[in-house]
Amino acid sequence: MSVDCTEPGETLRELRLSLNVSQRHLAGEAGVDQAVVSRLERGADARWSTWKRLFSALGREIELTAHPYGADDAEDFLKDGVEARRERMEAGREARW
């Protein structure tokens, strides 16, 4: 199964369901908590090694492919990333106070 999807959690969920595997079973096979599988399927991020373990437990190999952006797209992408980091930092500061 080859899936071209920008959201790995969505791909993980679709593959898991197509194989009729529960989150609990997948988690056990991959050596992670079931809550991790749930969070990732809902869009959370994880280390590359975690993704590899989960997809491997489903009998799949994952690969990373870089697609070129146009100059304007790359600049917008970087600006969005900077803004998202600022918002997370601000939220963290507010949470501590």
| Residue 88 structural domain | 68-97
- What CA–CA distance (Å, rounded) separates 24 from 2? 24
Contacts of 23 (CB under 8 A, 6+ apart): 16, 34, 37, 38, 41
* Residues 16 and 46 occupy one common structural domain: yes
* Residues 18 and 48 occupy one common structural domain: yes
Residue 28 inside a domain? The answer is: yes
Residue 19 belongs to domain with CATH number = 1.10.260.40
pLDDT (tens digit per residue) in 27-81: 999 999 999 999 999 999 999 999 999 999 999 998 877 766 665 676 777 788 8
Residue 1 inside a domain? The answer is: no
Residue 63 inside a domain? The answer is: no
Residue 62 inside a domain? The answer is: no
Token pair for 72: 């304007």
